[in-house]
Chains A and B, each alone.
Chain A
Amino acid sequence: MKAMKEKKNEGSRAKLLCQLFLSFAKIGVMTFGGGLAMLPMLERELVENKKWVKTEEILDYYAVGQCTPGIIAVNTATFVGYKQSKVLGAIFSTAGVVFPSVVIIAAIAAVLSNFADIPAVQHAFAGIRIAVCALITVAVIKLAKSNVKNLVQILIAVAAFVVIAVFGASPVVVVIGSAVAGLVLGKFGLIGKKKEGEKK
């Protein structure tokens, strides 16, 4: 009896793992851009379709994604997967969320490399790079609006920019340095009093 029950549990776990993979693959396909763009997809799939989690929990998961290193979309998938089915759940969910990217980008990269030398394609990409400049500028403005509000934050952001753009330092130095600076400033009550920059 016990053996049969265990076998049944294993079967339902395999099914759950497949569902996690498929659900996150679906979320991966529907997410354009990542970050906050993922939230509505996550809610529709996990709360409405699968009923795995409650709406309130989604925002918690999202907070987790923002307070851990790495891509937010990946972190959220990993955490939801872990909550559903431990380490294997985390692995299947993560694999699911990146699977569409790997397939689609590999296909596009293979095709584009054949056309890269055509003059028209080169002109098109020269135009596209201008759009990229504008899109990055917009992203920076949005980030600055939510994360760079007071004098201390302005100083940190400007220092990070100067260290990279003027002195050519590695971003590794800036990431570690700013985390340490955050700890020191926090100790003196200058930063992170009330979950700064986390307002939705």
Chain B
Amino acid sequence: MSALMTLLTLCFEFFKTGLLAVGGGLATLPFLSEMADKYPTWFTHEQLADMVAVSESTPGPIGVNMATYVGFRVMSAHGAVWSVPGAILATVSLVLPSLIIIVAVAKMMNKYIENKFVQWAFGGLRPAVTGLIAAAGWSVVELTLLDLTDFNIMRFWEAINIPAVIIFAVVLFFAMFKKTKKLHPIVFIGACAVLGVVLKL
């Protein structure tokens, strides 16, 4: 794909993401996960997980950070001059649907929020988004904690990356435990980075 075509595809994909991602935080992750499947030259699922880590440990809304990162990375494959325009245009495309929709409904916002059809649609969307993010999370779990190449159900334990699962369980415990759950994600990310280097994961 030429640089310009890539840029247009990128803008289209992020416009779609901005239009359909519902909720905060990781709401855009399922769409980025789909991009990794659809455009294998853009980025891998592993690189996507790295981008999640960077986006969680830097200031700014996660969805915006990830869009900027993806835009930068995808376009830098076409030369360094393209990377910053890629970052900016991916971000602009992501926020454009919000801008249009909010401006369109702003005048009758109270009616809009209380409208029963809007309530019903979002009543269906919210639980579905939970499933969507879980599925995107599963693709990261699959490549980090498990190794499903040559998977054999009779020897399923061989598919489990034991050191990774132990670290995962410990981090999950601290992230849910009352006294430590308020810790910033960067603490867990930093600790795991150190473990990764020490244990040569």
Partners in one complex: yes
User: Which A residues contact B (CB, under 8 angstroms)?
Assistant: 28-36, 38, 60, 63-75, 78-79, 82-83, 87, 90-91, 94, 97-98, 100-102, 104-106, 108-110, 112-113, 120, 123-141, 143-144, 147-148, 152-154, 156-162, 164-165, 168, 170-172, 174-183, 185-187, 191-192, 195-197
Q: Are A180 and B138 in contact (CB under 8 A)?
A: no
Q: Which of B24, B52, B119 contacts A34 (CB under 8 A)?
A: B24
The residue of chain B having its C-beta at the shortest distance from the C-beta of A134 within the complex is B171
Q: Are B55 and A105 in contact (CB under 8 A)?
A: yes
Q: Are B134 and A128 in contact (CB under 8 A)?
A: no
CB distance from B2 to the nearest CB of A (A): 21
Interface residue range, chain B: 35 or more
The residue of chain B having its C-beta at the shortest distance from the C-beta of A196 within the complex is B123
CB distance from B104 to the nearest CB of A (A): 10
The residue of chain B having its C-beta at the shortest distance from the C-beta of A62 within the complex is B24
The 7 A-B pairs with the shortest beta carbon distances in the complex, nearest first, are: A182-B124, A127-B196, A186-B120, A35-B24, A160-B131, A192-B123, A178-B128
Q: Are A136 and B133 in contact (CB under 8 A)?
A: yes
> With A129-B144, A186-B120 known to touch, is A90 a contact of B103 (CB < 8 Å)?
yes
Residues on A with C-beta less than 8 A from B61 are: 28, 31, 33-35, 38, 71-74, 97-98, 101
Q: Which of B103, B124, B145 contacts A178 (CB under 8 A)?
A: B124
Q: Are A180 and B168 in contact (CB under 8 A)?
A: no
**Is B11 an interface residue when CB atoms closer than 8 A count as contact?**
no
> With A69-B97, A72-B23 known to touch, is A130 a contact of B133 (CB < 8 Å)?
no
> With A101-B68, A128-B189, A186-B120 known to touch, is A70 a contact of B98 (CB < 8 Å)?
yes
CB distance from B154 to the nearest CB of A (A): 22
User: Which B residues contact A (CB, under 8 angstroms)?
Assistant: 16, 18-31, 33-34, 37, 46, 49-50, 52-56, 58-65, 68-69, 72-73, 76, 83-84, 87-88, 91, 94-95, 97-99, 101-103, 105-106, 109-110, 112-113, 116-141, 143-145, 164, 167-168, 171-172, 175-176, 184-186, 188-189, 191-197, 199-201
CB distance from B126 to the nearest CB of A (A): 4
Residues on B with C-beta less than 8 A from A66 are: 23-24, 122
CB distance from B43 to the nearest CB of A (A): 11
Q: Are B124 and A130 in contact (CB under 8 A)?
A: no
> With A101-B60, A157-B127 known to touch, is A71 a contact of B98 (CB < 8 Å)?
yes
Q: Are A87 and B64 in contact (CB under 8 A)?
A: no
The residue of chain A having its C-beta at the shortest distance from the C-beta of B57 within the complex is A32
The residue of chain B having its C-beta at the shortest distance from the C-beta of A86 within the complex is B103
Cα distance A5–B82 when bound, in Å? 45
> With A129-B49, A144-B130 known to touch, is A185 a contact of B138 (CB < 8 Å)?
no
Residues on B with C-beta less than 8 A from A112 are: 54
Residues on B with C-beta less than 8 A from A147 are: 126-127, 129-130
> With A29-B60, A94-B98, A105-B58 known to touch, is A164 a contact of B135 (CB < 8 Å)?
yes
Residues on A with C-beta less than 8 A from B73 are: 109, 113
Cα distance A124–B144 when bound, in Å? 13
Cα distance A161–B102 when bound, in Å? 29
Q: Which of A32, A34, A192 contacts B122 (CB under 8 A)?
A: A192
Q: Are A34 and B63 in contact (CB under 8 A)?
A: yes
Cα distance A98–B153 when bound, in Å? 47
CB distance from B88 to the nearest CB of A (A): 6
Q: Are A125 and B124 in contact (CB under 8 A)?
A: no
Q: Which of B97, B102, B144, B176 contacts A90 (CB under 8 A)?
A: B102
Residues on B with C-beta less than 8 A from A35 are: 23-25, 61
> With A125-B50, A129-B49 known to touch, is A161 a contact of B131 (CB < 8 Å)?
yes
The residue of chain B having its C-beta at the shortest distance from the C-beta of A181 within the complex is B124
CB distance from B92 to the nearest CB of A (A): 8
